[in-house]
Amino acid sequence: MDAATMGVLATLALFIFPFGMAVSAAYDLLTMTIPNRLVLGLVGGFFVVALPTGVPLPEIGVNILIALAVLVVGFIFFARGWIGGGDAKLAAATTLWLGLHLTVPYLVYAAFGGGILTLAILGLRQMPMMPIISRYAWLERLHDRSSGVPYGIALAAAGLLTFSSTTIFERLTS
């Protein structure tokens, strides 16, 4: 592969995943949803970048299996009301990029980050609502005790923390 093509792939890889994580976190914060098109963009972006950068097919296969396993567990969590459906799909799409060796660190970071986020939001909900909060629907929703927690923020942050150790990142920056 020539240097120009590799440069385009590097730009794509170094843009698609971080951008997808940032937009997912922002959507979840502002709307308490993570759009399917965003998750599908992350999945498609993985294949656009992984194949031409030479990620071995067996590794891609393992990444797919790990992502499917995370999706199944995520939907079990969703069915129990522990996480949102968008969170389950985002976690699966993220693990597709991260692969086997980074899935456990990713999930640990997400759990810790989600715990801190949840405690912060619970603390916010204990305080009286200031008038400025009611001017912004997303802040009012965060303050509402019957509302959930935008866990996509923790999932995205954990994805960004682990991305620099992925095969794709290493192949494109070495």
How far apart, in whole angstroms, are the C-alpha atoms of residue 96 and residue 167? 11
| 34 CB-side CA count, 13 A | 31
Q: What is the pLDDT of residue 172?
A: 77
pLDDT at 80: 95
- Give the amino acid at 101: H
Q: How far apart are CA 151 and CA 163, in angstroms?
A: 18
Mean pLDDT by 10 residues, the chain (174 residues): 70 86 96 95 93 90 97 96 94 96 97 94 84 77 83 97 90 76
| Contact yes or no for 49/1 (Cβ under 8 A) | no
> Using CA atoms in the order 35, 159, 14, 27, what is the torsion angle rounded to 10 degrees?
30
Q: Give this prediction's pTM.
A: 0.90
pLDDT for residue 1: 62
* Contact indicator for 63, 100 with CB cutoff of 8 Å: yes
Q: What is the CA radius of gyration of the chain?
A: 17
Rounded CA separation 36/48 (Å): 18
| Residue-level pLDDT at 53 | 82
- Closest alpha carbon to 151 in 123, 125, 112, 124: 112
